[in-house]
Structure 1
Amino acid sequence: MSMYFHLRAVPPSALRNSATWFQRLFEDDWDTVRERIGRHREEVLDKLYGDVEILYCGIPPNHAPDGPRTRVILGGRPAFHTDPAQPPFLLLTASQVTGVAEFLKGADFDDLWREARMQLLRPYDALDAEAEVRGLFAATHRDLTAFYAQTAEYGDAVVKWLLV
């Protein structure tokens, strides 16, 4: 089973507070989304998205205050799916996106890595994997930083959803 956590930027004027609208946002292909909302930016994290959350929030239980750190991956106001078996959509307002973007721009990856290193390496059970694993998390951090920075620059909101 493949799981992906999708983050899509949406101009506030195009945003609808409707589970059906959110569902369509994630079902449509990129071109359709771009046509409907005027542009398209998306970030996709694979099934290890929870590990990326650890990078930003510390080792569980979540040690970060409820602020930009906690909103990078899994944060946002839940909007429940019409099918209760499906996970909720998560919505970050444009102002929350700006806070996340500022946090990420100011975050030092080396500091984040040092804080979460042992927890993030545990599943790999081999220290010789550290360079590769660290590189993957560093690349994800750069991608998320770029995604949130551009989204904040446009003044857009972010809708998130776990696709299975």
Structure 2
Amino acid sequence: MKIAVVGPESTGKTQLCKRLAHYYGGHWVPEYARYYLATRNHQYQAEDLTQMAGGQLFWRELYSTCFPSGYLFFDTALITYCIWSQWKYHYTPSFIEKNFENEHFDLVLLTYPDLPWTYDPQRENPDDREALFERHLKILTERNTNFHVVSGFQHYRILNAIQIIEMEKKNLHI
């Protein structure tokens, strides 16, 4: 089962992916942008988004090939790159847009921004998380994506995600 975890920054996506992968005995696919930006002292330009999206696609395909069955938890998806590029640069590179149109997951978990924003040198939108959440919500809804919003503090967030996954397993007959 391929599950993407998306949403605004500082909403617990990475921890949620790691904990779900552990719980289900699956694998966590990291967010490529974190590695990319760490090698560039957290500086980037519009062109870098295409490189980061390409890296994310490569990791998605690599993990999907290496682990064709079981659970894969993707710490972001191309929807985030689309929103990020629109928000910051007011356009989406065609590479990102084209690949986003072809991206598919069995389930998408959209993290609600109910956790406190935590500083990280790669984060830049402490005051825009609700607006960015709404953009994710709008796009996922318009695309008729199989998604659910995950909310809650500490262990309630992981329990919320597990309940959603268990319900979806029944719906997908997994």
Please report the TM-score for the alignment, with normalisation by the length of structure 1.
0.30
Asked which structure has the greater CA Rg, the reply is 1
TM-score (norm 2): 0.29
Greater relative CO, 1 or 2 (CA 8 Å, sep 6+): 1
